[in-house]
Structure 1
Amino acid sequence: MSETLRVVAAGDHFVLPELIERAVSAAVGDRPAEVRPLTLGWPLEPFGPVAEVTEASDAEDAMIEALAGAQVLVTQMGPVTERVLAASPDLRLVVVCRGGPVNVNLDAAKTRDVRVCFTPGRNAAATAEFTVGMMLAALRRIPQAHEPLAGRGSWEGAAYYTYEQSGLELEDLPVGLVGYGAVGSRVARVLCAFGAQVMVYDPYVHHHEIHGLRLSSLDDLLRRSRVISLHARLTAETRGLIGARELGLLPRGSVVVNVARGPLLDEGALCDALESGRLSAAALDTYEREPLPADSRLPGLRDRVVLTPHLGGASRAVAEKAAAIAALEVGRWVRGEPLAHCLT
């Protein structure tokens, strides 16, 4: 009989520990496995920096206690810091249920010969759908019309049927996508079905990879687009990619959508453009600081913004996919097979 595999399923209130446990039990087959559940606080408690890692739950002590004697950790928000790794000498594999292991100290893991995997693509469909929903909400003033009717029984939202206040439709609308990865490419397909004129800026994509869509420079895309939607990864190069200069290139009355990462966009410059009327609307799911700070100017622009609390990937299918993709990596590791999404 093989030695019992000890796994910690450090889930949360989205990727539930029981989802991880069921998926891992199926993936390891006949190998005896003990799966130890741990429930972290996210999203009921916000993530943030923990020691030297980012976007993690503040739970180092709970992680250390749970990982005693464990060889495998599957988690979404668990902080895998130098301290946690040093206190977990039996740990050999960490699988993060996210598109990137930002909550793991990769250098410390490599030093300790701990393999680190992640789960790319688990939320691409959900985020793409949410992006199009946010775009339609901003273009057609759906939240602004909903609020007075649902809240006060007021029909005042009918003013959005006047020519001056009515919105834009996607058919024939020039829409610029900044980024053409797993999410951006899905958004492009949906927008093309609506009949939008889709343009793409992505310096890492070539013409033959975008299936006939217009590939543009960033400045040209901004000058031609009535809507821009951000889909780039957040890196040192892309931080602040859309600032005051870039917003100034958009045609007057344009709309900005960001369901990617908040720091891609200069929020101060965005608020200035909305307040001045240069932009007609913005739809944001991510922000420079999360949760949105009390002194943010965005809620004061409620007639011109659609704001949601980082919900783009919030579908049950995403949680189930994340657990399943992570468990497949655990199964490969148990069988000594090459890992599919490994960074160390």
Structure 2
Amino acid sequence: MTTEVLAAGDHFVAPQLFVDALAEAAPPGADLAFRTLTSGWPTEPFGPVGGVHEASGTEEQIIEALGDAELALTQMAPFTEKVFKAAPRLRFVGVCRGGPVNVDLAAATAAGVRVSFAPGRNAAAAAEFAVGLILAALRRIPAADREMKQGHWRGDYYAYENSGIELDGATAGLVGYGAVGSIVARVLRAFGTRVLVHDPYLDPARAAADGVELVGLEDLLSRSSIVSLHARLTPETRNLINGDNLKLLPEGAVLVNSARGGLLDHAPLPALLRSGRLGALALDVYDVEPPPADWPLHSAPHVITTPHLGGATRQTAHRAAAITAGEAARFLRGEPLRHPANPEVGS
């Protein structure tokens, strides 16, 4: 009996990546018929759709594309209450992201649809990018490059007061020690950096085994010349780093956020940068994406900004499709999912 599958991709994780990955992972003899849909992301921004966050495309597009599909594999397509009601044959949605933010989980559960996600798909990419931002901020690489192209040879960057800091012997504080933070710690330690970690869920025994020091947030901020954020965004962690505790940073500290924009209160940052209290700021994520043209940090000194590129590697796209296809194959075999988003829905 043929099983219809919708591969709802975009211009990063293309539908064909899902098709190829599931064709390889599917149980022997599985008769799969694929339907495809390509959303506009990332050339078109994602946003809220029908009550879900960070989705691309419309409910009408996904309903039309689903038809009689029983399985759907996607990154950004909106799976809302309206979509589930219009697709009674749908039984599985695999989301190839770190969290299924484009799926209404309550509606999926009510419809008896199992949902999976793909934790760790971009951990290596995001960790490498964070370390790149740290190095760029410490040594003012983007500013030096920009000024060279403008015809300015900034010899004064070699002046003691303008020179950077080495990672070797520095103390870095990581806020969050999940899949990304733990890789960042390993890389920084290879540079000779002392690594402090704040993560209330981290087992102290693992911290000791990894060679990092588990500390409270205030202790971390007061002792770290480099702070990099890697926590999940929850109601408890929103504005975790704010005007009150930023004052604890050593003079001239470097702050990097490549996790989620909402972890950081942006309002006090321009003044801290202009005063020199904050030596440099590197951001890949923002509370509003993209930031508006009149965003105060655009004109603040020693700021590096990139357009949410932390996970943008080809390996991430292939890994995301493979993880999601593996979950779909487990569903087809009647096996438990490894990464269920609504485990209360049985097989």
For this structure pair, what is the TM-score category when the shorter chain's length is used for normalisation? over 0.9
* Structure 1 residues 154-193: aligned runs within 5 Å: 154-156=152-154, 158-193=155-190
Q: Distance in 1 between matches of 2:271 and 2:14?
A: 41
Output aligned runs, 1:302-321, within 5 Å: 303-321=301-319
Q: Following the alignment from structure 1 to structure 2, what is the Cα–Cα distance between the partners of residues 72 and 295?
A: 44
Query: Residue deviations 1:211-262, cap 9 Å, x none?
Result: 2311111001111000100000000000000000111000111110000000
CA deviations 1:171-194 (Å, max 9, x no partner) are 110110001110000000000000
8 Å Cα contact 1:254/1:281 also seen in 2? yes
Alignment of 1:55 with 2:54, yes or no, is yes
Per-residue Cα deviation, 1:129-149 (whole angstroms, up to 9, x for no partner): 000000000000000000021
Give the counterpart of 2:195 among 187, 195, 198. Answer: 198
1:131-169 deviation line (CA, Å, top 9, x unaligned): 00000000000000000213x23323x321111111111
Aligned to 1:119: 118
How far apart are the structure 2 equivalents of 1:198 and 1:339? 35
Deviations 1:100-125 (A, max 9, x none): 00110000000000000001110000
Q: Is the 8 A contact 1:48 1:58 kept in 2?
A: no
Is the Cα contact below 8 Å between 2:269 and 2:297 reproduced in 1? no
The gaps in structure 2 that reach 5 residues or longer are 343-347
Q: Supply the AA of the counterpart residue of 2:48.
A: P
Identical-pair percentage? 56
**Partner AA of 1:154 in structure 2:** H
More displaced stretch, 203-212 vs 323-332: 203-212
Structure 1: 5+ residue stretches without partners: none
Q: How does 1:259-278 map to 2 (within 5 A)?
A: 259-278=258-277
- Which residue number corresponds to residue 288 of structure 1? 287
- Other-structure match for 2:345: none
**Aligned-residue CA RMSD (Å):** 1.0
Report the equivalent of 1:22.
Answer: 20
Q: Does the 8 Å CA contact 1:97/1:323 hold for their aligned counterparts? A: yes
Structure-2 residue corresponding to 1:71:
70
1:128 paired to 2:127: yes
One-letter identity of the residue aligned with 1:181: G
Whether the aligned pair in 1 keeps the contact of 2:240 and 2:264 (CA below 8 Å) is yes
Distance 1:177 1:343 in 2: 27
What secondary structure, in the 3-state scheme, does the structure 2 residue paired with 1:249 have?
A: coil
Q: Which deviations, in whole Å up to 9, do the C-alpha atoms of 1:38-59 show, x marking residues without a partner? A: 1101110111111211011132
2:156 and 2:82 map into 1 onto residues whose CA distance is 58
Give the Å deviation of 1:292.
1.3
Cα drift, residue 26 of structure 1? 1.1
Secondary structure at the residue paired with 1:164? helix
Rounded Cα–Cα distance in structure 2 between residues aligned with 1:134 and 1:327: 32
Structure 2 equivalent of residue 209 of structure 1: 206
What amino acid is the match of 1:312? G
Give the Cα–Cα distance (whole angstroms) in 2 for the partners of residues 294 and 183 of structure 1.
30
Selected match of 2:320 from 319, 322, 335: 322
Determine the C-alpha separation between the residues in 1 that align with 2:341 and 2:250. 42
Q: Report the secondary structure of 2:161's partner residue.
A: coil
What is residue 6 of structure 2 aligned with on the other side?
8
Q: How many residues align?
A: 339
Aligned amino acid, residue 21 of structure 1: V
Partner amino acid, structure 2, of 1:118 = F
CA distance in 1, matches of 2:16, 2:341: 26
Partner of 1:338: 336
TM-score (norm 1): 0.97
Cα deviations by residue, 1:76-116 (Å, 9 ceiling, x for unpaired)? 00011111111111110000010100110000000000000
Matched residue SS, 1:294: coil
1:49 aligned counterpart, secondary structure: strand
| Partner AA of 2:12 in structure 1 | F
Q: In 1, Cα distance between the equivalents of 2:18 and 2:156? A: 49
Q: 1:271 Cα shift?
A: 2.1
Structure 1 residue identity aligned to 2:166: E
TM-score (norm 2): 0.96
Answer whether contact 1:282 1:306 (CA < 8 A) is retained.
yes
Runs of 4+ aligned residues of structure 1 deviating over 2 Å after TM superposition are none
